[in-house]
Amino acid sequence: MAIERVITQSAPDEDVFLNALRPRSLDECIGQEVVREQLRIALDAARGRREPLDHVLLDGPPGLGKTTLAHIIASEMGASVRVTSGPAITRQGDLMSMLTDLQTGDVLFIDEIHRLGKVVEEFLYPALEDFRVDFTTESGVGGRTINFALPRFTLVGATTRAGMLSAAMRGRFGLLLHLNYYTNAELSSIVARSAERLRVHGDRAALERLAARSRGTPRIVNRLLRRVRDYAEVRGDGTLTAGIVDAALDMLQIDTLGLDALDREYLQVLIRHYDGGPAGIEAIAAAMGHDRDTLEDVVEPYLLQIGFVIRTPRGRAARPAAYEHLGLPRPAAAVETQTLFE
């Protein structure tokens, strides 16, 4: 079941809007200091040797800049980037056409790489190691297998679920980089730069308020900036103030910690239906009417990050901070159960 959320849904021109705000180089990036330093060293070394960069795996929650970093890697190496996703590559032939179109040093970016089919993934292994592939031109008795030499390229894989990658695939990457959520200070700097590019006027307090309600995610802070800008133009004089930001985000049902209606529904189901847990993710998904993957990929990462939910061997359990945020009393059963995890 699809979920329409202000923090995730995209308008027809959303990609154009977000692309205009992306940093174009490592020097323009804000936050992720460890990742940027590791990339900088690897890029400098590869340029010094005049070799393509090692294959790179980027993992972390959605919206933290994996796609942006893939484009920056290509830009820093003076190469082109070819963008695709795991679900879009269903056959070996799909991947073969992309590989043969690459030039030496080019970047192949595969988003959601953990969703590659097993046959396609195994077909990719020799391309990553030896830059050669064996491709069967026809099926049946008349089929021929041709060994194709490929130019040396860089694969950049992005995943929100690194645990679903096979050990064999993970071992093919020379750089394994994990992206963390951004601090409010970093998001304030990001949204200030975005506001300047969009010629949106706002005071520091307003931008800090917007950053604090953006779930530690640059994509969300930029998306909310757009929504708040619209609100300010219609209900105000176009200038962002703390009051305008609060009013706009309250209208969008985004609270002071960045939780929206779906996040609060998840917590309320866990607390009210299952006494705070532990409860299995399948049971929670059934009670909410959503699928398990959506909750694991879209809802839970941030709730886990801020300490509202924990995963235990018996299922998910709500933490005291979740009760406090929602203004709900902790059931006696929850008090007794959760002391085992505190």
Q: 212-266, pLDDT tens digit by residue?
A: 999 999 999 999 999 999 999 998 888 899 999 999 999 999 998 999 999 999 9
Give dist(CA 275, CA 277) in Å, integer.
6
**Closest to 255 (Cα-Cα) out of 61, 7, 9:** 7
CA angle 111/112/116 to nearest 5° reads 110
* Global confidence as pTM: 0.82
Give dist(CA 52, CA 124) in Å, integer.
18
Q: 86-128, pLDDT tens digit by residue?
A: 999 988 888 888 888 899 999 999 999 999 989 889 889 999 9
| The pLDDT of residue 140 is above 60 | no
Given a contact cutoff of 8 angstroms between Cβ atoms, the answer to whether 83 and 109 are in contact is yes
Q: 263-297, pLDDT tens digit by residue?
A: 999 999 999 888 888 999 999 999 998 888 888 88
Would you state the pLDDT for residue 172?
Answer: 92
Residue written as tokens 């909310």? 224
Give dist(CA 335, CA 321) in Å, integer.
13
Structure tokens at 328: 């709900």
Class for domain 184-251, per CATH? mainly alpha
Provide, rounded to the nearest whole percent, the portion of the chain with pLDDT above 70: 89
Structure tokens at 155: 């694969």
Given a contact cutoff of 8 angstroms between Cβ atoms, the answer to whether 317 and 310 are in contact is yes
Give dist(CA 233, CA 256) in Å, integer.
22
Work out the number of other CB atoms within 10 angstroms of the CB of residue 10: 10
Would you state the pLDDT for residue 96?
Answer: 86
According to CATH, the topology of domain 261-338 is Arc Repressor Mutant, subunit A (1.10.10)
Q: 142-168, pLDDT tens digit by residue?
A: 556 777 888 999 999 999 888 889 999
Query: Per CATH, is 32-178 categorized as 3.40.50.300?
Result: yes
Cis before 87 (ω within 30): no
Would you state the pLDDT for residue 329?
Answer: 85
What is the amino acid identity at position 233?
Answer: E
Contacts of 82 (CB under 8 A, 6+ apart): 98, 101, 102, 106, 107, 108, 109
Question: Which 3 state secondary structure label does DSSP give 65?
Answer: coil
Mean pLDDT on 205-211: 92
- Which residues does the annotation mark as catalytic? 66-67, 111, 160, 219
Enumerate the CATH 1.10.10.10 domain ranges in the chain, comma separated.
261-338
Question: Which 3 state secondary structure label does DSSP give 288?
Answer: helix
DSSP H or E segment with residue 138? none
Give dist(CA 76, CA 175) in Å, integer.
16
**Closest to 117 (Cα-Cα) out of 62, 164, 152, 176:** 164
Would you state the pLDDT for residue 12?
Answer: 54
| The pLDDT of residue 83 is above 90 | yes
pLDDT band at 332 (very low <50, low <70, confident <90, very high): low
**H-helix segments, the chain:** 14-21, 33-49, 66-76, 92-101, 118-129, 167-170, 184-198, 204-212, 218-235, 242-251, 261-268, 281-288, 292-294, 300-305, 320-326, 332-338
